[in-house]
Structure 1
């Protein structure tokens, strides 16, 4: 694993295709390690945060309609980073905006790429601790319900595929690990 250049694809040309409010799309023409060329469709994203927030041993979740899936989903609070925003501050902001709760402390659990085969979005997962009531501040195009659910309910929602996104499934399993061991990850 020492040679990180072994599989490198060198970009020869980039064609911008679309620039939106949240993402941009480009097609890169690349030179492959064997000298051949190929194209790669790439989604650029500013990054996002998600928050594992527990209130009296219940997980704060939001339910909202997800147009790409054409159905409502139950997820942990999350949102995209604003330009220049620190992920920890974004996590605190998203927690309060979507759930109406503030946290006294927040700590980074892990960061991961959501779909590295075609997108550069990185998601930073945080654990929020010592929650107090704040104020819900939804965006004008955001329609969500907030609820606190038990671990058993969360696991059942995963079985029903009402929780089916990676960040929320990861958070539920980290919470389950925490209940079994006292740590949210094996690295704590």
Structure 2
């Protein structure tokens, strides 16, 4: 049975930090790397952690002056289904500003540009197996740009009232977690105004 006699942090909570002992790269992918690490647990024992190294991403909730927003419809191969999602994309370089990623992805995926990207929050969507962080933005001051999809990328742009998108997120009709999270963050920010 594991010991409950663990070191306490300065604030009086137990130190639950796990220390890496060794790491084996299982997959060196185009987007993701997968590792199997041996770790020392807080009780001094060892365990195995498999995890995905992800560069991070930005997700955007664009809001037009008339109160509408844009979502995209896109087929996602791992889930084998089409999802309605907020525009989003990965960070391409470690030093890339998440707001710059948001601006790039909004225009590439939807054909719209924004004057303002208001950072809503940053969250870890898959803490059990990935270090991915998604940075969420509210985009306003929208003007036409030029859609520029990557090879093999197919999306439909869907415009709807922001209230409808938030309702779809809250009642479980949207199944993509980053989209649900983005819309809940946006709803909270918009209710402050």
TM score, norm. by length of structure 2: 0.87
Alpha carbons 2:116, 2:141 under 8 Å: kept: yes
Q: Which runs of 4+ in 1 moved over 6 A?
A: none
**Where in structure 2 are there 5+ consecutive unaligned residues?**
1-8
CA separation of 1:87 and 1:176: change in aligned 2, threshold 3 A: closer
Aligned match of 2:134: 123
- Give yes or no for the alignment of 1:168 onto 2:168: no
> 1:69-80 counterparts in 2 under 5 A?
69-80=79-90
Match of 2:111 among 100, 112, 118: 100
Match of 1:33 among 28, 42, 45: 42
For residues 107 and 46 of structure 1, the distance between their equivalents in structure 2, rounded to whole angstroms, comes to 21
SS at match of 2:21: strand
TM score, norm. by length of structure 1: 0.89
**Where in structure 1 are there 5+ consecutive unaligned residues?**
183-188
SS at match of 1:169: helix
Q: CA RMSD in A?
A: 1.8
